[in-house]
Amino acid sequence: MGNFDTAHLKSKLRKTKPTEKSIAETTAFIIKFRKYHTKSIDTWLYCIRKAKAEDKLTILYVINHTLQESIRQKPGLAKLFSKRLENVICHLGCDKKLQSDETLIRKVKHVLQIWEDRNVLKPSKVEELRSIFEDKEKRKRILKKMKAGEKKRDMKAKESKERVRHKSEDGKVIPESYDGTPDEGDPELSDRDLYAQENVEQKKLKIPKSTPEKVKKGRHQWPKSRQFAPKPVKNQLGFINVPNYQNS
């Protein structure tokens, strides 16, 4: 199946052309690695923020195709990719060149209408996205939240780099912050994430296949058919009665 690479997805999004074939290829890559849907969303948000007006519209087409293909392939998969659509529409609305071109505005509104007509999203959700695209004040509030979220993520990344790991007496690795204060550890994972993480960790383990111990055969051993035969018993005269299995 290969490995997911954020840089590879960025390259694919930048090279995607506004054609059905090109959009379908990029969509197939995103759905193939649906396990990394959070990274995919972060990547197309990054690309749509940096791209030109025409390229932003192409990325919107990729998102649209991804949502519709997700509904066809697996119910509930579209909910994973529909997160943070407000940020996507906000970046489109903040582009001055896009807002000055009536053709591009009409194409964005056409995508939103498709989501409503084909029940890709709830009508209330589509109406909210329309208002974000048209209302400048709403876009300002969303941009403020995005900047605050980016600051928070940067702080967490900085703290994780400064974190020192040490071993306790019993050999277990305990996370510890740079100032010596014990860390609370990783956040609790959901059942789905935990199951996926367990599969990944299980593949990393290289456990050799267990081989049965070979038993050396010798004269001192009983035949297979007599493995559980009774032991020889002494009689009254002191002679040992050994069962004769040849005549039995």
Picking from 112, 8, 121, 104, the residue whose alpha carbon sits closest to that of residue 58 is 104
| Per-residue pLDDT at 2 | 65
| Per-residue pLDDT at 137 | 87
| pTM recorded for the entire structure | 0.61
Rounded distance between C-alpha atoms, residue 72 and residue 116, angstroms: 16
Residue 224 has pLDDT above 60, yes or no: no
* pLDDT band, very low/low/confident/very high, at 185 (cuts 50, 70, 90): very low
DSSP 160-210: HHH-EEEE-TTS-EEEE-TTSPBP--SPPPPHHHHHHHHHHHHHH--PPPP
Phi and psi dihedrals of 197, rounded to 5?
-70, -35
Segment 77-93 mean pLDDT:
90
pLDDT in tens, 19-64: 999 999 999 999 999 889 999 999 999 999 999 999 999 999 999 9
Phi and psi dihedrals of 106, rounded to 5?
-65, -35
Q: How many C-beta atoms surround the C-beta of residue 121 within 10 A?
A: 20
- Domain spans of the chain, in order of start: 6-148
- What type of residue sits at position 93? G
| Per-residue pLDDT at 155 | 73
* CATH number for the domain formed by residue range(s) 6-148: 1.25.40.90
| Per-residue pLDDT at 147 | 76
Show the beta-strand stretches assigned E in the chain.
Answer: 164-167, 173-176, 233-234, 240-241
When the pLDDT of each residue in the chain is averaged and rounded to a whole number, the result is: 76
* pLDDT band, very low/low/confident/very high, at 13 (cuts 50, 70, 90): very high
| Per-residue pLDDT at 178 | 40
pLDDT in tens, 204-222: 544 444 444 444 444 555 5
Q: What angle do CA 146, 39, 190 make, to 5 degrees?
A: 95
